[in-house]
Amino acid sequence: MARSVTTRRKTINTAVAWAIGFLIFFPILWTILTSFKTEAQAINDPPLFLFFDWTLENYAVVQERSDYMRFLWNSVIIAGGSTVLGLMIAIPAAWSMAFVPSKRTKDILMWMLSTKMLPAVGVLYPIYLLFIQLGLLDTRTGLTIVMMLINLPIIVWMLYTYFKEIPGEILEAARMDGASLKEEILYILTPMAIPGIASTMLLNFILAWNEAFWTLNLTAAKAAPLTAFIASYSSPEGLFYAKLSAASTMAIAPILILGWFSQKQLVRGLTFGAVK
Amino acid sequence: MGQITLNQITKSFGDVQVIPPLDLQINDGEFVVFVGPSGCGKSTLLRLIAGLEDTTSGEINIDGRDATEVPPAKRGLAMVFQSYALYPHMSVRKNIAFPLRMAGLDKAAQDAKVEAAAKVLNLTDYLERRPGQLSGGQRQRVAIGRAIVREPAAFLFDEPLSNLDAALRVNMRLEISELHQSLETTMIYVTHDQVEAMTMADKIVVLQAGVIEQVGSPLDLYHTPKNKFVAGFIGSPKMNFLMGGYAAEFDATTIGVRPEHLSVSATEGKWQGKVGVSEHLGSDTFLYVDIEGLDEPLTVRSSGEVALRHGDIVHLTPDPEKIHRFDNQGLRMA
């Protein structure tokens, strides 16, 4: 028997859900609001919520002081490049783990994931030295590679779960039909896993876009993405809240819009395997 | 051509040997059925021939060529899977054309072959549909279509009808038999259903625990089963086995009598018993008769008009010509 849900209960649930949603979204909302205030209003006590003199001045100043488009372009290249590169490596890797597993497959998967538990700063020094040696410091190539490597375990894991859902017999049929390994992956596996691959791409893109530790430490001016752009507006004195907020809003806007339009894919990607 | 020879083939998964050394000869154009209970290794044997599993040792020869190390795509065999294994993201046309596309045929030649196959299989109206929009029988036909366009040396069927309902299964059985007659190509067919085996096969291979118990034509197996296992597996309803005194009378450890070789009389006969259950099928009546000293009732196949009911006393007499005698190893005695 289904649990009876009264209208009142439904209303309460909805209200609670909205309240939690609002709480989570509040910092972002506050950042956006602050970006439209003057510096004085931004630090006003008590805080001003909606009734202040709305201004676009901060955006004008930020745009004047630094070249937003250059940072944006760096972000797009690094996030996009690392995602594509990651998929090229992860698809064959996940294929072999899902369809020709060995005794050690589970261990390898766990080991890959365990690298994500390592504090990033623990390997900053060796990677920094490597970057100097290889001349990769402050290059988009270098950052793309690092970004790809740190997200690779997640991409492989996600693709592995998607691929596990595909019946092996279909791939065997392709093999019987004369498909080589490359053709089997290209014409059968990939098209069948498109929804999974799409949500993996999206999630990875967002993770790479938001990543700040490596981008801040390995770039200076040339390859700096939007995270570095935000950081350049924070000062220890905290005097420029409004401008910092304007910069932050500009940095998160593209990914916020992308996320909004791909909600369905993202939710599916994040809950895959957990909910069937 | 489609002559396949298995030479001392073995297969182990880890330490478990599922197929001990096995020899088998399949002639060109033959319809061979591998039959046996589940887990007897019949599907594994088919997958070894297909190349989807590697042999542990031994040699597979296809048309005089050693194919043991040849990948599945290059063996020139086509397979129809139990789950159909159609490509869900492709239309029926693209599904059937896939092996041709892999072989590098040009578009016009692909289309011509697909149309021809679709016509044979009554799929012409469904060519633009996706597999998800088809019924089970239609999907199975698409899978067969995908196999025939390749013009393979042999077709491999892995329990292709087990996902269909009973009526459709009989239809598809006929269609596959007709296909075999028109194509005259070697077919290897795996099933656990002895009725499918009996009705379709030129040659039946009975397997148990990876071992071939007997190879022969359906009637060979029916009339002269080599051992108790084959005797019990082939034929429906199952053969009756009698031991102890009943068998000693015929100088055997066990004797076997098929239900159709027992005659029933109300007044006199060799063995007396009481009718337990009677199943009236119209054409036949199956009687389950309890005999004193036997653990299981004897099954009797009688005419449709028999009016015996539960509790009636009957007398059964076996046809002396049709009694199968087995020794203490379960092997057939001459």
A151-160 pLDDT per residue, tens:
999 999 999 9
Task: Give me the DSSP letters along B78-119.
Answer: EEE-TT----TTS-HHHHHHHHHHHTT--HHHHHHHHHHHHH
* Contacts with B176 (C-beta within 8 Å, 6 or more apart), sequence order: B144, B157, B160, B187, B189, B200
A99-156 pLDDT per residue, tens:
988 889 999 999 998 988 888 888 889 999 999 999 988 899 999 999 999 999 999 9
**């990876």: which residue's tokens?**
B210
Would you state the pLDDT for residue A269?
A: 60
Task: Tell me: do B245 and B223 sit in the same domain.
Answer: no
d(CA A59, CA A35): 8
Would you state the pLDDT for residue A261?
A: 83
Would you state the pLDDT for residue B62?
A: 93
**């597999």: which residue's tokens?**
B131
Contact A233, A244 (CB under 8 A): yes
CB contact under 8 A, A172 and B81: yes
Would you state the pLDDT for residue B308?
A: 85
Residue ranges per domain, chain A?
7-59, 64-270
Q: Please report, rounded to a whole number, the percentage of residues in chain B having pLDDT higher than 90.
A: 74
Task: Tell me: do B226 and B244 sit in the same domain.
Answer: no
Note whether B99 contacts A: Cβ–Cβ < 8 A: yes
The predicted model gives A227-243 an average pLDDT of 77
Q: Which residue from B minimizes the CA distance to A192?
A: B89
Task: Tell me: do B250 and B214 sit in the same domain.
Answer: no
Question: Worst-scoring range by mean pLDDT, A194-198, B92-96, B129-133?
Answer: A194-198
Task: Tell me: do B125 and B168 sit in the same domain.
Answer: yes
Task: Tell me: do B172 and B253 sit in the same domain.
Answer: no
Would you state the pLDDT for residue A237?
A: 62
Closest-CA distance, B74 to chain A, in angstroms, reads: 7
Question: Worst-scoring range by mean pLDDT, A40-49, B125-134, B211-220, B309-318?
Answer: A40-49
* Domain assignment of residue B49, yes or no: yes
Task: Tell me: do B177 and B292 sit in the same domain.
Answer: no
A13-30 pLDDT per residue, tens:
999 999 999 999 999 999
Would you state the pLDDT for residue A274?
A: 42
CB contact under 8 A, B52 and A174: no
Crossing angle for the helix pair A140-164 and A105-114, nearest 10 degrees? 140
| CATH code, A64-270 | 1.10.3720.10
B42-90 pLDDT per residue, tens:
999 999 999 999 999 999 999 989 999 999 988 999 999 998 899 999 9
Q: Average pLDDT over chain B, rounded to whole?
A: 92
Note whether B190 contacts A: Cβ–Cβ < 8 A: no
Closest residue to B73, CB basis, from A167, A180, A188: A180
* Domain assignment of residue B333, yes or no: no
For residue B213, the number of C-alpha atoms closer than 13 Å in the C-beta half-sphere is 27
Task: Tell me: do B34 and B85 sit in the same domain.
Answer: yes
| Closest C-alpha among A204, A63, A79, A74 to residue A138 | A74
CB contact under 8 A, B72 and A175: yes
**Domain end point (choices B231, B256, B286):** B231
CB contact under 8 A, A176 and B50: yes
Residue A270 in this model has a pLDDT that exceeds 80:
no
This prediction's pTM: 0.79
CATH number at residue B46: 3.40.50.300
For residue A46, the number of C-alpha atoms closer than 13 Å in the C-beta half-sphere is 3
d(CA B68, CA B88): 31
d(CA A227, CA A248): 8
* Domain assignment of residue B331, yes or no: no
Would you state the pLDDT for residue A4?
A: 64
Task: Tell me: do B218 and B264 sit in the same domain.
Answer: no
Would you state the pLDDT for residue A251?
A: 87
Q: If pLDDT is split at 50, 70 and 90, which confidence band does A3 have?
A: low
Q: If pLDDT is split at 50, 70 and 90, which confidence band does B202 have?
A: very high
Closest residue to A192, CB basis, from B74, B88, B103: B88
CB contact under 8 A, A191 and B89: yes
**Domain end point (choices B204, B231, B258):** B231
A56-86 pLDDT per residue, tens:
888 888 888 888 888 889 999 999 999 999 9
Token couple for A88: 């090229």
Task: Tell me: do B118 and B249 sit in the same domain.
Answer: no
Number of domains in chain B: 2
B123-136 pLDDT per residue, tens:
999 999 999 899 88
Q: Which residue from B minimizes the CA distance to A189?
A: B87
The predicted model gives A211-219 an average pLDDT of 85
B293-320 pLDDT per residue, tens:
888 899 999 988 888 888 899 999 999 9
The predicted model gives B178-198 an average pLDDT of 93
Q: If pLDDT is split at 50, 70 and 90, which confidence band does A2 have?
A: low
Task: Tell me: do B160 and B254 sit in the same domain.
Answer: no
Would you state the pLDDT for residue A275?
A: 38
Closest-CA distance, B103 to chain A, in angstroms, reads: 7
**Domain end point (choices B196, B231, B266):** B231
Cβ pairs A/B, distance under 8 A: 59
d(CA B76, CA A248): 62
Contact A187, A125 (CB under 8 A): no
Q: Please report, rounded to a whole number, the percentage of residues in chain B having pLDDT higher than 70.
A: 100
Task: Tell me: do B251 and B120 sit in the same domain.
Answer: no
Task: Give me the DSSP letters along A2-13.
Answer: PPP--HHHHHHH
Q: If pLDDT is split at 50, 70 and 90, which confidence band does B147 have?
A: very high
The ipTM, to two decimals, is 0.84
Q: Which residue from B minimizes the CA distance to A193?
A: B89
d(CA A196, CA A193): 5
* Domain assignment of residue B96, yes or no: yes
Alpha-carbon separation of residue A251 from A149, A233, B276 (angstroms) = 23, 12, 84
Crossing angle for the helix pair A241-261 and A194-210, nearest 10 degrees? 180
Q: Is A247 helix (H, G, I), strand (E, B) or coil?
A: helix
Domain residues for B256?
Answer: 240-326
B236-257 pLDDT per residue, tens:
899 999 988 888 889 999 999 9
d(CA A94, CA B69): 26
**Amino acid letter for position B207:** L
